[in-house]
């Protein structure tokens, strides 16, 4: 009697599961169950997106003992669903690029059925969803970043307004929005008389010698039209600065229990208190979802992608084009390479000569992500290797290169006697 070979390559991982196609006003759900004969059964329903509709969907899933469901991560429409289902079953959030259905036969119902089928056989990879506490930190840090960018935009508008009115304060002071600049802007908003005595009273001691030049810089065509715009811009800027300060204080209160971690992150060149808060808000305080440094770098899009066909290596551009965590680390990397005597600075300039500034700074961000992983995951402290680390590694190679160059010029390189 011959034994029948098992030709099943795709195993069933989740016999009971559900796939959701989520939209703003409607959700299509496909529930896969198993009957008494072991045959799979499909049940398809549509729900609204109000909270009571989502609760009805949750009860329907729980009554059918569904332990896991999958849905696309389209925009923010998955958030209401996750709010209702979190804690009751496993929710797998998948990238829409990874589970595209066949074009030409695509409907909302077929999408939900396709998702459920992929989930049933364990073919879906879930996106990283941090804990609720971390998600709240993330929302605060991201809105703080938005406000900071808006504040910078309004500062540029003030610069532009002054140029149109022949006001040249920023040509005299290093920072238009420093103490002296703010005082002079207040005088322009109030319509006060701008004589030498008034300007001297509103000038910092270090700029007293430039009072005459400051007086010349505000002699322009500043009219009521410009004053009206300037007052409005300054009011918005003060409101944004107040909001940024309040968000920062709230973040300090919420993250006070992890101060030791934030202090250890602050030891890394380029990372300050605010960037440490942003980093923790993006990836959490445990990194249980990332098994190694490579997984974290790949998730953030900081390492090359794989694109090989027929034995030929093609473009290795990362599939992740834009990522908030990547943006944070790129900014941190630019700050890190400005620190004199650091390993990151030496490595950056070594890579820049061969690969260019943009690729070099991404490589530095990749190295910083490795340091962050070990600090959070293993509780390590940062230790800077120093700018001489790379030189020591290639010392003999450098000596040989110098000897060869000296011989070409007709000289002989002789080591100094100690």
The CATH number of residue 243's host domain is 1.10.287
> Number of H helices and number of E strands within the chain?
16, 7
The CATH number of residue 41's host domain is 3.30.420.10
Same domain, 368 and 280: yes
245 within domain boundaries = yes
Same domain, 265 and 252: no
* Structural domain boundaries enclosing 207: 134-256
What is the average pLDDT across 244-252?
A: 95
197 within domain boundaries = yes
- For 268-325, write each residue's pLDDT tens digit: 999 999 999 999 999 999 999 899 999 999 899 888 777 777 778 777 777 777 889 9
Same domain, 91 and 168: no
In DSSP notation, 300-317 reads HT-SPPP-EETTEE----
- For 350-391, write each residue's pLDDT tens digit: 999 998 999 999 999 999 999 999 999 999 999 998 888 887
Write down which residue in 120, 155, 183 finishes a domain: 120
400 within domain boundaries = no
Report the alpha-carbon distance of residue 186 to residue 4 in Å, rounded: 89
218-227, 338-347, 382-391: the lowest-pLDDT one: 382-391
The mean of the pLDDT values for the chain is 88
Is the confidence at residue 6, as pLDDT, over 70? Answer: no
Number of domains in the chain: 3
Same domain, 236 and 285: no
pLDDT for res 1: 46
Residues in the chain: 418
* Continuous segment of H or E residues that includes residue 15: none
pTM value?
A: 0.83
Same domain, 228 and 295: no
Write down which residue in 63, 94, 120 finishes a domain: 120
In DSSP notation, 230-252 reads HHHHHHHHHHHHHHHHHHHHHHH
Measured N-to-C along each axis, helices 357-378 and 259-266 cross at an angle, to the nearest 10 degrees, of 150
CA angle, 283 as apex, 323 and 347 as ends, to 5°? 70
Report the alpha-carbon distance of residue 357 to residue 321 in Å, rounded: 18
Q: How confident is the model at residue 105 (pLDDT cuts 50, 70, 90)?
A: low
Is the confidence at residue 52, as pLDDT, over 60? Answer: yes
Write down which residue in 97, 120, 143 finishes a domain: 120
């Amino acid at each position: 009697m011959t034994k029948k070979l098992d030709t099943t390559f795709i195993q069933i991982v989740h016999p009971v599961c559900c796939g959701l196609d989520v939209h703003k006003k409607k959700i299509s759900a496909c529930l896969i169950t198993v009957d008494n004969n072991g045959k799979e059964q499909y049940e398809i329903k549509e729900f609204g997106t109000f909270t009571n509709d989502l609760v009805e969907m949750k009860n329907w899933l729980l009554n059918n003992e569904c332990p896991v469901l999958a849905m696309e991560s389209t925009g923010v429409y998955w958030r209401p669903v996750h709010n209702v289902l979190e804690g009751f079953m496993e929710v797998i959030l998948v990238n829409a690029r990874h589970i595209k259905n066949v074009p030409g036969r695509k409907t909302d119902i077929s999408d939900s059925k396709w998702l459920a089928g992929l989930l049933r056989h364990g073919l879906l990879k879930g996106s990283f969803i941090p804990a609720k506490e971390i998600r709240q930190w993330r929302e605060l840090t991201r809105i703080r970043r938005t406000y900071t960018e808006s504040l910078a935009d309004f500062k540029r508008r003030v610069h532009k307004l002054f140029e149109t009115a022949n006001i040249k304060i920023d040509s005299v002071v290093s920072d238009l929005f420093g103490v002296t600049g703010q005082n002079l802007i207040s005088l322009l908003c109030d319509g006060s008389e701008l004589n030498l005595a008034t300007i001297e009273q509103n000038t910092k001691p270090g700029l007293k010698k430039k009072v005459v030049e400051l007086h010349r810089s505000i002699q322009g065509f500043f009219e009521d039209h410009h004053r009206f715009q300037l007052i409005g811009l300054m009011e918005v800027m003060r409101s944004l600065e107040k909001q940024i300060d309040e968000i920062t204080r709230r973040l300090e209160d919420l993250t006070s229990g992890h101060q030791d971690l934030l202090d250890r992150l602050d030891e890394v060149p380029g990372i300050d208190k605010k960037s440490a808060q942003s980093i923790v808000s993006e990836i959490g305080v445990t990194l249980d979802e990332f098994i190694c440094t490579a997984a974290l770098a790949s998730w953030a899009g900081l390492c090359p992608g794989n694109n090989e066909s027929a034995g030929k290596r093609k473009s290795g551009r990362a599939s992740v084009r834009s990522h908030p965590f990547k943006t944070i680390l790129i900014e941190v990397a630019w700050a890190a390479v400005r620190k004199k005597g650091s390993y990151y600075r030496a490595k950056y300039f070594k890579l820049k000569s061969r690969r260019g500034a943009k690729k070099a700074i991404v490589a530095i961000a990749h190295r910083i992500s490795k340091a962050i992983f070990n600090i959070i995951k293993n509780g390590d402290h940062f230790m800077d290797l120093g700018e001489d680390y790379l030189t020591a590694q290639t010392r003999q190679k450098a000596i040989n290169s110098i000897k060869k160059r000296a011989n070409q010029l007709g000289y002989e390189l002789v080591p100094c006697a100690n």
